[in-house]
Amino acid sequence: MSFEDLKSAVAARSGLSKAQTDQALSAFFEHLKTSLGQGEKVSLPGVGQFEVAERAARQGRNPQTGETINIPASKAVKFKAGKALKDAVNG
């Protein structure tokens, strides 16, 4: 589902215009990025929880040359689905 598809679906279900829906969804995603960027967890009841995970620095291999390379530490976003979402997916 693309952002446009999501916007159309939310607009149809909520009765909001597409412009209002676009503003609301954009504000939500901006807040999600800001919160995760500050290391906060974001919980959406019935959907799940987003959080930031720390990845330690490690060594890896270049698959083409076999050369050992250093992979720097980084952060990644983790999502843990909530029970209601799992139940909806599993029928």
Tens of pLDDT, residue by residue over 8-28, are 999 999 999 999 999 999 999
Which whole-number Å values give the CA distances from 45 to 17, 18, 35, in the listed order? 25, 25, 17
- Kindly indicate the confidence band of residue 91, based on its pLDDT and cuts at 50, 70 and 90: confident
Q: What is the pLDDT of residue 49?
A: 97
Query: How many angstroms separate the CA atoms of 33 and 40, rounded?
Result: 10
Domain limits of the chain? 3-90
Tens digit of each residue's pLDDT (9 = 90 or more) over 53-82: 999 999 999 999 999 999 999 999 999 999
Backbone angles phi and psi of 8, in degrees to 5: -65, -40
* Beta bridge mates, 33: none
Q: What is the mean pLDDT of residues 42-57?
A: 95
Any idea which architecture 3-90 has in CATH?
Irregular (4.10)
Q: Which two tokens stand for residue 9?
A: 């679906």
